[in-house]
């Protein structure tokens, strides 16, 4: 397999350009090294050991995960300093405790006093502490205690005062950058999230509490603002692959997108002015809702084609305007789809085929489950 062209693969297949992955990772590492801020990359996009090694510069330390399956996967491969950045699920407290007692540093996140009570009911062995990050909502509106309300400070104080528990840090996800268009809008959100987080850190100091601070999203960390240098950490993830959504937001350019889904033409439908391809939503995902001019993905090298719709295993391509020239797309023709959202696309594939200059150099196998 190694050395073969990617055209030798059976489709649909997810291919990863190793050179772009390394470039994206090295650029992010260098960016925050220059700012004096710790980069804690998120693993949720790729969920592989090989890519994690690249994102951590080979250190196998200081990562973020969104599932316990990821946490165990990385722990089993020698990774330490893992932050499980997901509001502590009560059915998984014992599992979190086992990781906390096993690793040098395993950290959890919460945004509700009931979750703190669950941790207090399960003290760790050998004098170990629960290392807890408080999730702060600074405008993202998904999870977290509101930054400006009295509950946020009260919960931080409760964590700080709890026996067997340490308030390790304050965590804010500026996912509202995903509503932005362009660098200027991204940086407005990045600045607002940074400012609100730093203001909360000052509130903590007034009651005698100091801890780390972390914000992050791929858009904000691709275009950081100066004040982010006052943070302890940042936690972007998608940047290692990027995708069409990130291009649309303004995080990156087409040259930065490391992944493609290979597909082949398997049918001609002149009565519908369409091509049928062997990639449905199980090979790409329906994320993005087809709202791009090109539909659910960008067909690389074919700007006049639109991925109109998908069933489970099929996709339908049609021209954005005019009639299809079927002679350009004989049956068996391979096409490359650039996904709207690489996280959603990657999770559809049990294997990633890694290449350099369209020649295969290896395979990555991601972990799965929760």
Residue 59 is part of a domain; what is its CATH number?
3.20.20.10
Residue 180 resides in a domain: yes
Q: Which of 77, 14, 22 is nearest to 239 (CA)?
A: 22
**Phi and psi at residue 17, to the nearest 5°:** -85, 110
Average pLDDT, the chain: 97
Last residue of a domain, one of 178, 210, 238: 238
* Statement to judge: residues 74 and 198 lie in one domain: yes
What residues contact residue 307 under an 8 Å CB cut-off, 6+ apart? 290, 294, 295, 296, 297, 299, 315, 316, 317, 337
- In terms of domains, do 230 and 273 share one? no
The pLDDT tens digits for 157-214 are: 999 999 999 999 999 999 999 999 999 999 999 999 999 999 999 999 999 999 999 9
pLDDT for 31 beyond 90: yes
Q: Are residues 131 and 54 in the same domain?
A: yes
Asked whether the beta carbons of 285 and 348 are under 8 A apart, the reply is: yes
Tell me: do 272 and 357 sit in the same domain: yes
Q: Are 72 and 155 within one domain?
A: yes
The CA radius of gyration of the chain, in Å to the nearest whole number, is 22
Residue 26 within a domain: no
Q: Read off the pLDDT of residues 80-98 as tens digits, 9 standing for 90 and up.
A: 999 999 999 999 999 999 9
Calpha distance 280→283 (Å, rounded): 6
The DSSP code sequence of 140-205 is --SSSEETTSHHHHHHHHHHHHSTTEEEEEEEEE-GGGGG--SHHHHHHHHHHHHHHHHHHHHHHH
Please report whether residue 246 resides in a domain. no
* Amino acid 141: pLDDT: 87
Q: Are residues 287 and 222 in the same domain?
A: no
228 and 282 in a single domain? The answer is no
Whether 370 is covered by a domain: the verdict is no
Instruction: Indicate if 227 and 259 belong to the same structural domain.
Output: no
pLDDT value for 1: 75
CATH code of the domain covering residue 288: 2.40.37.20
Beta bridge partners of 309: 316
Residues 264 and 317 in one domain: yes
State yes or no: pLDDT of 74 exceeds 80: yes
For 48, the domain range is 36-238
Q: Which of 190, 209, 238 is the last residue of a domain?
A: 238
- Give the C-alpha distances (Å, rounded to integers) separating 347 from 45, 48, 178: 8, 11, 20
User: Within its chain, how far is the Cα of 210 from the centroid?
Assistant: 28
Residues in the chain: 370
Residues 58, 149 within the same domain:
yes
Confirm whether 189 is domain-assigned: yes
Is 333 within a domain? yes
| Chain segment 303-359, per-residue pLDDT in tens | 999 999 999 999 999 999 999 999 999 999 999 999 999 999 999 999 999 999 999
Looking at the 3D structure of the chain, how many domains does it have?
Answer: 2
Rounded Cα distance, 66 and 63, in Å: 10
> What does the pLDDT read at residue 269?
97
Final residue in a domain of this structure, among 238, 268, 290: 238
Place of tokens 């001019």: 293
Whether residue 57 is found in the same domain as residue 170: yes
Distance CA 156, CA 171 (A): 12
In a domain, 12, yes or no: no
Cβ–Cβ < 8 Å for 230, 201 = no
Q: What percent of the chain shows pLDDT beyond 70? A: 100
Q: Looking at the structure, tell me whether residues 271 and 226 fall in a common domain.
A: no
Residue 274 domain flag: yes
């Amino acid at each position: 397999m190694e050395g073969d062209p990617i055209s030798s693969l059976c489709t649909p297949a997810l291919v990863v350009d190793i050179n772009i992955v390394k470039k994206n990772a090295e650029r992010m590492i260098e960016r925050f090294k220059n700012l004096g801020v710790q980069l804690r990359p998120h693993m949720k996009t790729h969920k592989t050991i090989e890519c994690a090694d690249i994102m951590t510069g080979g250190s196998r330390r200081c990562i973020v995960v969104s599932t316990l399956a990821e946490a165990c996967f990385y722990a089993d491969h020698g990774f330490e300093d893992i932050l499980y950045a997901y509001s502590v699920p009560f059915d998984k407290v014992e599992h979190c405790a086992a990781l906390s007692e096993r690793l040098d540093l395993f950290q959890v996140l919460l945004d509700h006093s009931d979750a703190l009570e669950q941790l207090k009911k399960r003290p760790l062995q050998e004098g170990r502490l629960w290392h807890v990050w408080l999730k702060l909502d600074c405008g993202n509106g998904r999870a977290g205690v509101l930054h400006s309300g009295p509950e946020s400070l009260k919960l931080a104080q409760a964590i700080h005062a709890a026996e067997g528990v340490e308030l390790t840090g304050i965590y804010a996800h500026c996912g509202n950058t995903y509503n932005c268009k362009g660098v200027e809008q991204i940086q407005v959100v990045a600045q607002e999230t940074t400012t609100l987080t730093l203001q909360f850190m000052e509130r903590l100091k007034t009651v005698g509490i100091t801890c780390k601070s972390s914000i992050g999203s791929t858009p904000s960390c691709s275009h950081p603002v100066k004040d982010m240098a006052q943070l302890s950490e940042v936690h972007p993830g998608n940047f290692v692959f990027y995708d069409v959504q990130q291009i649309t937001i303004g995080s990156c350019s087409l040259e930065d997108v490391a992944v493609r889904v290979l597909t082949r033409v398997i049918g001609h439908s002149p009565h519908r002015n369409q091509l049928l391809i062997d990639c449905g939503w199980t090979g790409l995902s329906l994320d993005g809702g087809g709202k791009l001019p090109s539909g659910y993905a960008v067909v690389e090298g074919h700007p006049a084609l639109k991925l109109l719709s998908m069933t489970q295993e099929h996709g339908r391509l049609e021209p954005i305007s005019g009639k299809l020239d079927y002679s350009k797309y004989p049956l068996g023709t391979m096409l490359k789809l650039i996904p709207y959202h690489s996280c959603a696309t990657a999770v559809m594939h049990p294997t990633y085929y890694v290449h350099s200059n369209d020649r295969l150099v290896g395979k990555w196998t991601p972990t799965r489950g929760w």
